[in-house]
Chains A and B, each alone.
Chain A
Amino acid sequence: MSGNEAVARGAYEAGVLWASAYPGTPSTEILENTAKYKEIHSQWSNNEKVALETACGASIGGERAFAAMKHVGLNVAADPLMTIAYEGVNGGLVVITADDPGCHSSQNEQDNRNYATLGKVLMLEPSDSQECKDMFKLAFEMSERFDMVVLFRMTTRVCHSKSIVELGERQEPKIKKYVSDKMKFAMLPASARLRHIAIEENLEKARAYAETSPLNIVEYNGDNKVGIITSGISYQHCREAFGDTVSYLKLGITNPLADNLIKEFCEKCETVHVVEEGDGYLEIGVRHLKLDCTGKELITCQGELTAEIVKTSLTEAKSEPTYDFPQLKDIPARPPVFCAGCPHRGFFYSMSKFRDKVVGMGDIGCYGLGWQEPFNCEETCVCMDAGTSTTIGMANALKNQDDTRKPLGFQGDSTFFHGGLTGFIDAVHYNTNAILCILDNDITAMTGHQLNAANDTGLMGEPVHKLNVTDMIYATGIDKDRVAVVDPMNQAEMDGALKHAIETDGLQVIVTKYPCALLKWDIQQRAGRHCVIDADKCVGCKMCMKVACPALAFDDGKAHIADPAACTGCGLCMQNCKVGAITKVGE
C-alpha cells in the first residue's frame, strides 16, 4: 500500500465517520481511497479551510473526523486550525498535512512541522506505510485522550511510496453525544483565555505520555559512539545509510517532544546528530534542552534527503561513482505539456498574440504550463486564488507608472470556487482595470480529475447540486456586457474577446467553456474524431506547429499527425493552416 492508501485504511479501522479534503499532490489519494470505504462519509471541499471547518463541526458533534491537504493548503486552513486547537475535540480530530520537500509538484517546500508548535497541537510523523496506518489509528485515540487536535505530518516519499502493510479490524464507531458547551466550543476572549490554560496543561500531559509512548523508539547500537535523532522518512534514510552501526532515537510524536527521553539519549551517546528534512525543527527542540548535537550545519535544509546525502554529510564516505556520459547534455528536455485537445492551449495561443498588451498573472493548476515556451504567458504565480486578486494591486502599480498594459489574471473553475471568488468580488466592487479569465474545463484537472462544485456527482457517487461559474459571476451584479463566455478553441472568438477586453477600460471578464481533454465522458463523445493532414497540400510553413500540440510532428518539410490516437480533433491547428491542408474526420 502507498502511505496515502494506508492512511485511508487507518481511518476505516479507527471508526472514522467524516473525511474531507481539497485535492493537492501528494495528499490527493488519501480522500480518494477513504471514499472506497462506504462507512466513512467522504467529500471534496471547495478549499482546505472549508475541509477543516467541516471536520471541526463533525468532531464537535461527536464523530471521529479528519481533513487532508497538501502543505500549502494548511496555510489556507491555518485560521480554523489555530482556534480549534484551543477548543480541543469531542470526537477525535486529525488534520493531515502532506509536505513536499523537493517541490515535486508545489510552489515551495515549507516545513509544516512548525505549525504544530505555533498552534499547540499534537503532531505525529509516520515513516512508512505500516506506520501511516497504525499511527493514524492511534492519532484518534490520542486526540480524544488529551482533548487535542492532532497534526499528522507526511511527506511526498511517505505518501507515494509503497510498502507492505498488515491490516487490522475496524473498530465500530462510537459517536460521542454532542452536549452544548460554549466555554469550550465558542471561542471569545472570555472562553479563549481559559482554554489557553487548558491547552497548555493538555500539552504537558501529552508530553508525559510521549516519554513512554511506543511511537518514540530508542535503539542503542555500536557502543553509543554515534546517536541519531530523527523522524519520518529521514529515519529510513539513516537506517539505509548506517544500518545498526549507530544508535537511534526515532520520534513518532514530534509535538510535544519527549524531553527526558531526548536528554537520556544525548547523555548516553558520545556524538549526537539530528537528521531531518527541511528545517531544523527537532534540532531546535534538542538545543532548547541545552544539549550538544549537530544539525543543519551538516544536513541541508534544501530538497529531499537520500541515504546518500545523509551518509556523505555525516561521514567521510564518498558518493557512489557514476558513469561519465557526456551525451547526457544532448538529450532534449521533456517538459510536461498541455495534452492534445487541452482547452488551455487555445486560450494561451490566443493570449500569446497579445503578449505586449497584458501582464499575465497566474494561479495553481494545469494552466501553470502557460509559463513555458512557446506561450510565455505566466509572469507571476503566488498561490492558489492569486490569479484574480494579484491583478488588483498590479493594476494600480501599472497605472502609477503610466504603463498601458492591462493585468490579465487566469484561473480554473476549481480554483475559482477555492477562493478566487472572494478576490473576484473585490475586482467587481472596485471595478479594477484588469481582465479576469476563468478557464472552465468542468473538473479539477491537475491533480487527476477530482469533482468540484461545478459537477453534479459527489465523491461517493451521490447526486449533488451543480453550480455554474458564469451564474456566480453574474450574481456579483457585474454589467453583463463586461462578461464574455467563449469557446477557447475557436480562435476568432477567443481573439475577439481578448482584443475587446484589452481595448475596453475597467474590469472585463472572460469565461472559456471547454471540457478537459482527458474527461471520460468527453472522450466517449468525441470517439473517432481526429484531424488529418494532406501531405500534398502542406507547404511546410509550420504555422500549425505554433500551437505546440504533442499530436503534431514535422518531418522532411511536412507537418503530419504524429499520433492519430492522441489527436482529439479539436481543430486548433486547422485554424492556423493557410492552405487548407488540415481537415477533421470522424465527427
Chain B
Amino acid sequence: MANGKNIILVGVGGQGTILTTKILSAGLTELGYDVKMSEIHGMSQRGGTVTTQLKYGDKVYAPNIGDGEADVIVGFEKSEAARAIPYLRIGGTVIADEREIYSMPVLTGAAEYPHGILDDLKKTVGEDHVKVIDAFAKAEELGNTRVQNIVLLGALVKVLGIEGIDWVELVGKMVPAKVRDLNIEAYKQGFAMV
C-alpha cells in the first residue's frame, strides 16, 4: 500500500486495545490518511484474545490484514504479541509489553506460561525488530494500570514516525475528563520509552 502501514493490536479483553485503536485512527485521519479499522466482537469479550486491525494509507480498500502483511504488531500482553507473529511482515516490528496475563489453562496448571517467549521472538525476527516496552509497569508507577494502553500508544506513534499532529491534545480529548492528565502523562512517557 502506498504511503501506509498495517498495524495489529492484540491483547486480552479489558486492556483497552479498542480505545487505543480509536485514538490512533482519529490521529491518522487528522494527518490526512484514509483509515480502516476492524475489530472482532463477540466471544472474545469473555477473557479471550482481542485483536484489532488498522490500515492506513492514501487509499485503503480491504479492512483486514492477512498473514505476513502487518508492518507493526503491538502486543499488550507478551504471549499474545508472540501469538500474532504469523501476521508479521518479514522485516516488520513488534512492540511488546512485558505484561503476563495467565489464561485458564495456565491458572489451573494444565499449561505452562512461556516466560521467555520474547527472547525467542528476538532470535526469530531480530533484536532490533522487537521493542519491549514495560508499559504496564510504567502505568503502575503512574498510579493506574489502566493507562497501559496509552503508554503503548505513545511508543507506537514514535515507532511509526507519525508525530505530525498534536497527539497530546488528541489523547486528552478522547479519554474521560477525570483521567485526562494521567493519560497525557502516560502518552508522553510511552513516547519517551522507545
Contact = CB atoms under 8 A, between A and B. Distances in A.
Interface of A: 25-26, 28, 104-105, 128, 156-157, 160-164, 233, 236-237, 239-240, 304, 306-309, 319-325, 327-328, 330-339, 366, 369, 373-374, 446-448, 542, 545, 548, 550, 552-554, 562
20 contacts: A25-B41, A156-B40, A161-B64, A163-B34, A233-B62, A236-B63, A237-B61, A321-B90, A325-B82, A327-B82, A328-B86, A331-B117, A333-B105, A334-B12, A334-B80, A335-B105, A336-B43, A337-B103, A338-B46, A446-B42
B43 A105 contact: yes
Given A105-B43, A308-B69, A331-B114, A374 B108 contact: yes
A153 to B, nearest CB: 17
A548 B108 contact: yes
B47 A25 contact: no
Interface in B92-113: 102-113
A307 B62 contact: yes
A553 B113 CA distance: 12
Given A319-B68, A320-B66, A322-B68, A337 B43 contact: no
B125 interface: yes
Interface string B54-68: 000000111110111
A366 B46 contact: yes
A533 to B, nearest CB: 14
Nearest to A127: B61
A548 B107 CA distance: 8
Interface residues of B, number: 56
B62 A239 contact: yes
- Count chain A CB atoms within 10 A of each CB in B86, B89, B108, B110 and give the residue with the most: B108
- Count chain A CB atoms within 10 A of each CB in B42, B79, B82, B102 and give the residue with the most: B42
Contacts of A308: 66-67, 69
Contacts of A320: 66-69, 89-90
Given A331-B82, A332-B112, A550-B107, A157 B67 contact: no
Secondary structure at the B interface, as helix, strand, loop or mixed, is mixed
B85 to A, nearest CB: 5
Contacts of A161: 36-38, 63-64
Contacts of A306: 62, 64, 66
B151 interface: no
- Count chain A CB atoms within 10 A of each CB in B25, B42, B62, B79 and give the residue with the most: B62
Given A332-B112, A542-B109, A548-B104, A164 B35 contact: yes
A160 B46 CA distance: 18
A337 B47 contact: yes
Nearest to A553: B107
Contacts, number: 175
Contacts of A240: 61-62
Interface string B138-165: 0000000000000000000000000000
A448 B44 CA distance: 11
A239 B89 CA distance: 20
B61 A26 contact: no
B78 to A, nearest CB: 10
A162 B88 CA distance: 22
Given A104-B40, A331-B114, A236 B61 contact: yes
Given A319-B67, A322-B68, A553-B102, 5 more contacts: A320-B66, A323-B86, A323-B90, A327-B124, A545-B107
Given A237-B61, A550-B104, A336 B46 contact: yes
B67 A552 contact: no
A332 B80 CA distance: 10
A28 B41 CA distance: 10
Contacts of A25: 41-42
B121 A325 contact: yes
B39 interface: yes
A548 B110 CA distance: 11
Nearest to A546: B108
- Count chain B CB atoms within 10 A of each CB in A334, A447, A562 and give the residue with the most: A334
Contacts of A553: 102, 107
Contacts of B42: 25-26, 104-105, 446-447
A26 B41 CA distance: 7
